A and B are shown apart, each in its own frame.
Chain A
């Protein structure tokens, strides 16, 4: 069964900061805070779990094709990050959970931790 962005909100106890397209299917997950690593290894269509909340994460999400970013530990999120996400149609969720707990809950929804294969 396909997992959609809307299905992530409750398990993550998340606040929806920017809705984006809540009906989008999620095909994988990536967790990490280094932008170069995300851009090299995250797979298109993944949910991205991170502590980063500055506007450049949205640029990275657009480039990778990540439709949903989850900011953990209830970190504050810059206004510009939200504005940029709004423009790009990217969902931003904020959760009080730690990155570890967030990933564990996403995994129990059946989301695989895909890594990109070099084309």
Chain B
């Protein structure tokens, strides 16, 4: 991150298994980005990645914290969870790989595309994970001039 002061900082809790409010944090972020007036294609990239990170906490972890720092031309997101961690990151990034149980797949989650969506949508993605402890996802997004 830069030393610049963010326009907005957002911090929200995410509960594992709470499908009721799943997606709320990303929706709130979308509204904020739209209000600030970011280009729609930029907001969309940020929001897709935020949603996938948020849902991974809901589906795979126990609880987590979502933090976003919004700068005029740059967004930084950190999603830090307490959960099982990811034993094999390379495998987890493979499209189609998922450990989601059947009842979660029935809901249309667990296609195994979340991490690759996050990678495609962000300009920088870092995952720090410890098995049995948790996972921290850090992402950066830069407004590109068109």
Residues A63 and B111 in contact, CB atoms below 8 Å apart: no
The complex places the Cα of A50 from the Cα of B106 at a distance, in Å, of: 12
Our pick among B41, B47, B51, B55 for the contact of A119 (Cβ within 8 Å) is: B41
Which of B19, B23, B44 neighbours the largest number of chain A CB atoms within 10 Å of its CB? B23
Interface size range of chain B in the complex: 20 to 34
Stretch at the interface among A15-23, A32-40, A100-108: A32-40
B120 at the interface (CB under 8 A from A): yes
Using known A-B contacts A37-B111, A39-B51, determine if residue A60 contacts B23 with beta carbons closer than 8 Å: yes
**Interface, chain A (partner B; CB < 8 A):** 33-40, 44, 50, 52, 54-57, 59-60, 62-63, 80, 118-119
Known: A34-B108, A55-B20. 9 other contacts (CB 8 A): A34-B113, A35-B108, A36-B114, A37-B111, A44-B44, A52-B107, A54-B19, A56-B108, A119-B42
